Amino acid sequence: MLLIENFINGSYCAPLDSTYLDNVNPATGIVISKIPRSNKKDIDLAVQSAQAAFPNWSASSQESRFLILNKIAEGIESHLNELALAETNDTGKAISHSRQIDIPRAASNFRFFATAAMQFASESHDMPKRAINYTLRQPIGIVGCISPWNLPLYLFTWKIAPALATGNCVIAKPSELSPTTAFLLGKICKEAGLPDGVLNIIQGYGTEVGEAIIQHPDIKAISFTGGTKTGKHIATQVASKFKKLSLELGGKNPCLVFADCDYEQTLKQVVRLAFSNSGQICLCGSRILIEERIYEQFKKDFIAKVDKMLPSDPLDPDCKMGSLISNEHLNKVLNYIELAKEEGGSILSGGTQIKLSGRCEGGSFIKPCVIEGLGPDCRTNMEEIFGPVVTLQSFKTDEQALELANCSQYGLASSIWTTNLNRAHRLAEQIQTGIVWINCWLLRDLRTPFGGLNNSGVGREGGYEAMRFFTEPKNICINYNSNL
Ligand code: NDP
């Protein structure tokens, strides 16, 4: 059985207390590896190694960082099959998803921020005939990156790459439910020439080792992606320590379908945005709002498609939908479906646990679920379920659509499906989400600001937003007027 280790100071090592956790493949229910149950002592060791590495790394040239980050991207690509298999075995997601989306995107993250290191520039502010100010953007020092299980290496690298590109040393923690690709990344970084101590990857429980990261006085910034409840806890903990904080949290994303949409294309894309990765993407649409004129027809056609979707063995190359992340999460999703019924909702499709035979008989599979008959204020429509569960609601006017869309404590992403460009622009301006897709979903340009409002988080990732987050701006004012 694979024994996963921490990666500290450029070497793999056992947790200092020698305690381990089981890592279960959720598609089979079988333990596939042991992972370190690290704690504060391991974080202290990682911080020491990062402190030793920081002076040289922060002073290294942009070009040398560019070359190393690019090599890491190449290393990820050359280990595509191994990483994709590890991602699927940890999470139960379809192997095609790991191969075509998760792992290629992890490589793109490194390549993108390698280039950003070369292009990043700071501002200058001229005071005519008196002085010039210029802004130095310096690395923060040691930063903590904490990521979730749904897109493991994809989101892990989305944080680590800009932190490294800007000259910081990193203490990073993946979810204990998806440890393997982060573990493998250590070796890839070492082979790419990343100096020892610059990236330290520590495994274990969020409440133990994650907590040690956020509490550590020498870790000056925290970049966190995960649930809103955890984000709230972290925000309260780090506020009094004045750490820089970026929070990418949950969502309850609306999808607005208008009668004048490109019908077939919209139908296909709404199925995709609802159920990709079994609905376990923070950007998935979970509240489908449909204009009344086409509600019945759209519902019928949508359900016909969803009825045909069956989860299967994620290692099957033709698998479109694998298992959920764990049995515990499956029970949470099933409980929400029961709640929806208690709240008066009707189940139009799926929503039941699926038992597969053979290799996957112990897996956590569920048939995608479509619910109607619930108003915007019920818990099913207010709380993030983070599974393959969507509700359908109808609206008559643009104003009603907007009201329903904005009736949420979350504000991460939305999508608008219409061929009326005026309406699309008008609604996009008024909708309260950090990201709005018009006639598309998950179309990502890595230069754009990424993040949400309200319960969906604070701050933005992506492009120069991430480069700015991981640097401390310092204004330097030079007087050139001797009469001042
Ligand atoms: P959690 O909040 O449970 O965990 C996220 C990470 O935080 C994990 O690595 C976890 O460790 C760690 N953690 C848990 N407790 C603490 C703590 N006290 N201190 C420090 N770290 C801690 O989220 P999930 O892993 O369940 O991820 C799903 C959530 O992530 C959903 O709400 C989803 O919407 C959100 N998400 C948001 C995205 C965005 O960009 N806005 C993108 C993707 C997901 P461990 O797992 O080991 O306990």
Tell me the pLDDT band of 484, cut-offs 50, 70 and 90.
low
CATH of the domain at 328: 3.40.309.10
Same domain, 70 and 116: yes
Structural domain range at position 237: 2-249+452-475
> Does residue 434 sit within a domain?
yes
pLDDT at position 26 over 90: yes
Active site residue 248: yes
Question: What is the C-alpha to C-alpha distance for residues 101 and 368, in angstroms, rounded to an integer?
Answer: 21
> Does residue 446 sit within a domain?
no
Residues contacting ligand 1 via CB (< 6 Å)? 146-150, 155, 173, 175-177, 205-207, 210-211, 214, 225-227, 230, 233-234, 248-251, 282, 384, 386, 412, 452, 457
CATH of the domain at 144: 3.40.605.10
Q: pLDDT for 238-293, tens place per residue?
A: 999 999 999 999 999 999 999 999 999 999 999 999 999 999 999 999 999 999 99
Give, for ligand 1, the residue of 23, 160, 175 to mutate: max count of ligand atoms closer than 8 Å to Cβ. Answer: 175
Phi, psi angle pair for 344, to nearest 5°: 100, 10
Ligand 1 closest atom vs CA 325: 26
Q: pLDDT for 122-137, tens place per residue?
A: 999 999 999 999 999 9
> Does residue 149 sit within a domain?
yes
pLDDT at position 328 over 70: yes
> Does residue 258 sit within a domain?
yes
Bridge partners, residue 291, by sequence? 395
Q: pLDDT for 60-100, tens place per residue?
A: 999 999 999 999 999 999 999 999 999 999 999 999 999 99
Same domain, 97 and 57: yes
Same domain, 59 and 186: yes
Q: Which residues of 138-166 are buried (b: 16+ CB within 10 A; e: fewer)?
A: ebbbbbbbbbbbbbbbbbbbbbbbbbbbb
Note whether 170 and 50 are within 8 A (CB): yes
Ligand 1 closest atom vs CA 174: 9
Å from CA of 148 to ligand 1 middle: 4
> Does residue 481 sit within a domain?
no
Q: What is the pLDDT of residue 324?
A: 98
Tell me the pLDDT band of 338, cut-offs 50, 70 and 90.
very high
Q: What percent of the chain has pLDDT over 70?
A: 100
Instruction: Write the CB contacts of 36 (distance below 8 Å, at least 6 apart in sequence).
Output: 4, 5, 6, 14, 15, 19, 20, 21, 42, 202, 203, 204
Higher pLDDT, 1 or 155: 155
Same domain, 289 and 409: yes
Å from CA of 127 to ligand 1 middle: 46
Q: How many domains does the chain have?
A: 2
Same domain, 234 and 287: no
Ligand 1, atom 46, residue with closest C-alpha: 175
> Does residue 443 sit within a domain?
no
Note whether 327 and 355 are within 8 A (CB): no
pLDDT at position 481 over 90: no
pTM value is 0.96
Beta-strand runs (E) in 357-454: 365-366, 369-372, 389-395, 410-411, 413-417, 435-438, 453-454
Same domain, 433 and 465: no
Q: Look at strands 6-8 and 11-13 and give their pairing.
A: antiparallel
Note whether 144 and 171 are within 8 A (CB): yes
Å from CA of 228 to ligand 1 middle: 8
Which residue out of 282, 319, 360, 369 is catalytically annotated?
Answer: 282
Which residue out of 248, 372, 384, 465 is catalytically annotated?
Answer: 248
Same domain, 322 and 289: yes
Å from CA of 312 to ligand 1 middle: 26
Same domain, 172 and 29: yes
Tell me the pLDDT band of 482, cut-offs 50, 70 and 90.
confident
Active site residue 82: no
Å from CA of 378 to ligand 1 middle: 24
Same domain, 321 and 401: yes
Mean pLDDT for the stretch of residues 205-227 = 98
Same domain, 86 and 230: yes
> Does residue 43 sit within a domain?
yes
Ligand 1 closest atom vs CA 230: 2
> Does residue 483 sit within a domain?
no
Same domain, 148 and 84: yes
Å from CA of 210 to ligand 1 middle: 10
Q: pLDDT for 253-267, tens place per residue?
A: 999 999 999 999 999
Mean pLDDT for the stretch of residues 4-27 = 98
Ligand 1 closest atom vs CA 384: 32
Same domain, 214 and 69: yes
